[in-house]
Structure 1
Amino acid sequence: MKKQRGRLEYSIMNSGISTGIYIMRLLIQFIARSIFIRFLGETYLGLNGLFTNILSLLSVSELGVGSSIIFSLYKPIALHDHPQIVALMQLYRKAYNWIGVTIGVLGIAVMPFLHLMIHGSQHVDNLYLIYLLFLTNSVVSYFFTYKRSLISADQKAYIVTLNDFLFLLVANIVQITFLYIHADFVIYLIIQIIFTIAGNVCISWIVDRRYPYIQHAKAVKVDKATSDEIKKNVLGNMSSTIGGQIVMGTDNIFISSFVSLIAVGIYSNYTLIVNAVQNICKQITNSITASIGNFAVEADASRRNDLFRRHFFVSQSLAFFTGIELLVLLDPFISWWVGKGNVLPKVTALLIVINYVIQVYRNTGFVFIQSFGLFWYQRIKPVIEATINVALSLLFLIPLKMGINGVLLATIGSSFGFVIWYEGYVVYHYALQRPVREYVVLIFRGIAQLFVAGAIVDILVNRFITLQGGLLSIIIKAFVTLILSMILYILFSFKTPEFKYVLSVGKRFLKR
């Protein structure tokens, strides 16, 4: 009989494969972005960022349905309760079909207002056709995709990761080929739609093969207790989703409306890099959500707290190393990659890095809220979050005229001024049953260490390494930054139990 893998093995496998694949995805995206800028220019790059933001706002129609149903799948999967799994999957399919239709309708309703979101009188050819293609790609992504939830909840998210990577790779090769033949953004988007559909059809086929009991199952209704739990979680997740999208999904809209479409394009080069690094961190920390959800079914409060502190230590470590690297290298890399004319002021780059660090610190709270199904307890969070963000954005943009810096300060203000603490309270009070002051100490201690280390490394690297321009100088600075960060990190952390645990896991994994 084949031995079943344990949670730790699935966690390492999902994290390892997801991270490796994401790094390859990142390389492909950089190549594609460089070619995109060369053939289509910064105006279309800005338009790409603007429409992506608009559709991310429309995706609040998803309302956290996916997360809520995935949470409900953990227990029946652990118990091999096939009828309950079938019932949940059928519910998920109906919900996502309705969501796709809703986003389509809302997306069409937005069309008359598109010109108001572009600052000045800048003309863009095929504006409405391009938007419709963006909308179509978003809508079709909701069909067939519901089956992904079963693989993810079953701790096999690496299968979805591999599938998506292969289709992304082929799609980008075809898109780049057509850009060389004829630089047409419309054709570029049509190719993207085709491969989005193909990727979803393929993952649907894989699920049917791996879980044959769901393919020809009779219609089954979810029992009332589960249905009530899902409704409660959806309502809680709905508010959280809305708040998150208003905060993160309006940046490009504000910049396009109050600064310029070209500014969106320049800013999006920075966000591409920062989001890529942030997503690598998420691949490492968030890919074990299903394993934590499985663990939550049986663990006591003490074991939950140990797991939280270990997970938080990983998030903190990632924020430490990547935050310092971005602080030192972000501007030089942008200058080398797309030219000095696309480099933002140093203060703006610093605000981008600060915002990035805050979001990485939130990863552990997010994972535990997902894994323990704590959506309902977040229901008032987004109202305050969105109010703070929009109010600060308008204050910094209109009377103070701070441009991109104002947008970033508003996001930092809402995230660090409120959200990170509220999420910590929800996890500590409802999942860990421990005083939230422990979380406050973890956050401030980690940020103080990062602030001190970042200042030391930035001063040393920029003062003593005076190489100018070129990829080689960036690599040398990155290596020196890593060594200095590692020294400071060990000095700060080597005595902590979390450091010793992570070290022991690494040794066990290497032995295997």
Structure 2
Amino acid sequence: MRIKSSLLNISAGLGNQIIITALSFISRTVFIHSLGVEYLGINGLFTSILSMLTLAEAGIGSSIIYNLYKPVADNDRPKILALMQLYKKAYQIIAGVVLLLGLGLMPFLHLFIKETNVENISFIYVLFLINTAAPYLFVYKNSFLNVNQKNYIVTIVFSISAIISTCMKIAILYFTENYILYLIVESILSIITSIIVAYIVDKMYPFLKEKIKSKLDYETKASFIKNMKAIVLQNVGNYFIFGVDSILISSFISIAAVGLYSNYKMLIDICRTFLNQVFSNMYHSLGNLVAKESAEAIYRIFKVTYLLNFWLYSLLSIMLYLLVEPFIDIWIGSEYKMTNTVLLVLVIAFYERGMRNSLSAVKTTAGIFHEDRFSPLFQAVINLGISLVFVKFWGIAGIFAGSVLSALAIPFWYTPMLVYKKVFNQPIRRYYSSYVYYTCIGVISCLIASRAIIIVPSNTIIGLIIQSFICFVLVNIIYIVFFHRTAEFKYLYGVVLALLHKLPHFTSVYHKTIKRKRHMEVGGTK
């Protein structure tokens, strides 16, 4: 049941992402040609600033998921109702705090913007703020669908909304070039979508509208508050690790440079979102596994997800590094490119963060929040210190180097230590031996792929597609050669076969092949 739910959620997520990705490229192209790189920079800068105000929400969201696993599994409705009421109140408070803090930042916007010709900055910022705060009044119900492994419903609703919103915004940019109208439409549709999802949840689970007849026990409340405080601390640190890049670029270089970076960030975020569709849906199944199974069983499944984690993140890291620059040349022009050093550092950061994905999922589903609550804060201090020094010598690349070096200084060793000690009961050297082995294979694959694709010119769409195909096939072949004998690969291969058997055409061909083989064996016996 866990695998079936995960596969359904993954399929919905990937289908959604394919559509959204295609539309986002069209939207970004129209945006650049209609408004220019400075508006693109403002877009990225305000998104980064307002991310700082939503840190508390991330703590609530993770606590909801963790605390609801057991009552949902036990169908403990009184406790579910009490928890959902608590989360509703928490989100209402968060929406108000985000709005007030956001308004309080308005007089200081000029400190973050080095130079720009964009008009109506304050009004644009208010629209961003409304779009950030308003959905929190409804979003807590999304978590209930996620815990029930029905997040494909959320995905479908948001996919339809995104398609409508993107098409409308493209039309607005193309015909009017009015950025204010563009943002107003985005805000209205975002709020409507949140209301629709809340309505669907009420229809699917009408008991959620019942009056609360019991109160939460002290232990649950104490656990919720303890974990939420720890997660908020972690997310404050995470913001200063991952969220301040655009602010630093705008403050030390220019708002136009933020626009250039935002194109690279969009491409990397597309890859990250694709992979999150796979791993975030496994995450909720893993929550049930952690709650019910032994440490040995959890570790066995972790090794499978860890191989898959490496396979997908390294494959996309290689393709990003080799293909992003020729893609930008063809897509919007060489004037929108940054240096190869910046790209390399961004890809390394993408890979390093991605390789911790499986560990982070186990850590969160096991409820390990309190133990490393200060780690992101220490990492943030290191990140900001390195970035502020290196930006003077290396420019944008120096800012991103801070993220990589601070990650190696703290979570690279501390997160696996916690998980291997508290969940797996395994020696930590097993993690690092696998990490080094996997990374060496990834580097070798990248070098081979880089040599192989140069035989095809990349200055046309057809050439770039051929290069992408060569890179994709070659890296996968290398990985199959290295991993085909491992238990983890055999498990993943079995899952793929199970998926294929669900396809009508494959099943028909498979059964015909088996029948033909049996017929030949009978004939041979005779």
TM-score strictly above 0.5: yes
Match runs of 1:59-458 below 5 Å: 59-120=54-115, 122-218=116-212, 220-398=214-392, 400=393, 402-458=394-450
Name the amino acid aligned to 1:353. Answer: V
Separation in structure 2 between the aligned mates of residue 192 and residue 94 of structure 1, nearest angstrom: 26
Q: How many residues align?
A: 502
Separation in structure 2 between the aligned mates of residue 67 and residue 486 of structure 1, nearest angstrom: 34
Separation in structure 2 between the aligned mates of residue 488 and residue 294 of structure 1, nearest angstrom: 34
- Residues 237 and 376 of structure 2 are in contact (CA less than 8 Å); yes or no, is this contact kept in structure 1? yes
Offset of residue 188 of structure 1: 0.6
Runs of at least 5 residues in structure 1 that lack an aligned partner in the other structure:
1-5
Separation in structure 1 between the aligned mates of residue 242 and residue 323 of structure 2, nearest angstrom: 24
1:459 matched to 2:481? The reply is: no
Moved more, 331-340 or 218-227: 218-227
Separation in structure 2 between the aligned mates of residue 310 and residue 486 of structure 1, nearest angstrom: 17
- Residues 55 and 107 of structure 1 are in contact (CA less than 8 Å); yes or no, is this contact kept in structure 2? yes
1:82–1:112 Cα change, 3 Å: same
Aligned equivalent of 1:43, options 20, 34, 38: 38
1:34-73 CA-partner distances (Å, limit 9, x unpaired): 1111111111000000001001111113251111121110
Q: Which residue of 2 aligns with 1:481?
A: 471
Separation in structure 2 between the aligned mates of residue 100 and residue 439 of structure 1, nearest angstrom: 40
Separation in structure 1 between the aligned mates of residue 21 and residue 407 of structure 2, nearest angstrom: 26
Separation in structure 1 between the aligned mates of residue 89 and residue 110 of structure 2, nearest angstrom: 34
Name the amino acid aligned to 1:393. Answer: S
Name the amino acid aligned to 2:226. Answer: K
Separation in structure 1 between the aligned mates of residue 458 and residue 439 of structure 2, nearest angstrom: 30
Separation in structure 2 between the aligned mates of residue 424 and residue 35 of structure 1, nearest angstrom: 44
Moved more, 448-457 or 153-162: 448-457
- Residues 53 and 101 of structure 2 are in contact (CA less than 8 Å); yes or no, is this contact kept in structure 1? yes
1:7–1:468 Cα change, 3 Å: closer
SS where residue 374 of structure 1 aligns? coil
Name the amino acid aligned to 2:359. Answer: G
1:206–1:456 Cα change, 3 Å: same
Aligned equivalent of 2:7, options 9, 12, 15: 12
Runs of at least 5 residues in structure 2 that lack an aligned partner in the other structure:
503-526
SS where residue 426 of structure 2 aligns? coil
Offset of residue 25 of structure 1: 1.2
- Residues 59 and 103 of structure 1 are in contact (CA less than 8 Å); yes or no, is this contact kept in structure 2? yes
SS where residue 410 of structure 2 aligns? helix
Aligned equivalent of 1:469, options 454, 459, 472: 459
1:100–1:262 Cα change, 3 Å: same
Moved more, 128-137 or 452-461: 452-461
Separation in structure 2 between the aligned mates of residue 235 and residue 312 of structure 1, nearest angstrom: 29
Name the amino acid aligned to 1:480. Answer: I
SS where residue 246 of structure 1 aligns? helix
Offset of residue 163 of structure 1: 0.8
Separation in structure 2 between the aligned mates of residue 134 and residue 260 of structure 1, nearest angstrom: 21
Offset of residue 487 of structure 1: 2.0
Name the amino acid aligned to 2:124. Answer: I
Separation in structure 2 between the aligned mates of residue 432 and residue 387 of structure 1, nearest angstrom: 30
Offset of residue 354 of structure 1: 1.1
SS where residue 210 of structure 2 aligns? coil
Offset of residue 221 of structure 1: 2.6
SS where residue 427 of structure 2 aligns? coil
Separation in structure 2 between the aligned mates of residue 204 and residue 383 of structure 1, nearest angstrom: 34
Offset of residue 18 of structure 1: 1.0
1:457-501 CA-partner distances (Å, limit 9, x unpaired): 113322x22x14121111010011112112211122112111111
Separation in structure 2 between the aligned mates of residue 338 and residue 219 of structure 1, nearest angstrom: 59
Separation in structure 1 between the aligned mates of residue 18 and residue 359 of structure 2, nearest angstrom: 24
**4+ residue runs of structure 1 moved beyond 3 angstroms?**
none
Offset of residue 220 of structure 1: 4.4
- Residues 61 and 103 of structure 1 are in contact (CA less than 8 Å); yes or no, is this contact kept in structure 2? no
Structure of greater Rg? 2
Offset of residue 394 of structure 1: 0.7
Separation in structure 1 between the aligned mates of residue 226 and residue 298 of structure 2, nearest angstrom: 23
Offset of residue 320 of structure 1: 2.2
Separation in structure 2 between the aligned mates of residue 174 and residue 349 of structure 1, nearest angstrom: 32
Offset of residue 306 of structure 1: 0.4
- Residues 95 and 136 of structure 2 are in contact (CA less than 8 Å); yes or no, is this contact kept in structure 1? yes
Separation in structure 2 between the aligned mates of residue 374 and residue 177 of structure 1, nearest angstrom: 47
Name the amino acid aligned to 2:6. Answer: S
- Residues 396 and 403 of structure 1 are in contact (CA less than 8 Å); yes or no, is this contact kept in structure 2? yes
1:54 matched to 2:44? The reply is: no
- Residues 66 and 149 of structure 1 are in contact (CA less than 8 Å); yes or no, is this contact kept in structure 2? yes
- Residues 239 and 378 of structure 1 are in contact (CA less than 8 Å); yes or no, is this contact kept in structure 2? no
- Residues 281 and 318 of structure 1 are in contact (CA less than 8 Å); yes or no, is this contact kept in structure 2? yes
What's the TM-score once normalised by structure 2's chain length? 0.93
Moved more, 196-205 or 322-331: 322-331
1:304–1:411 Cα change, 3 Å: same
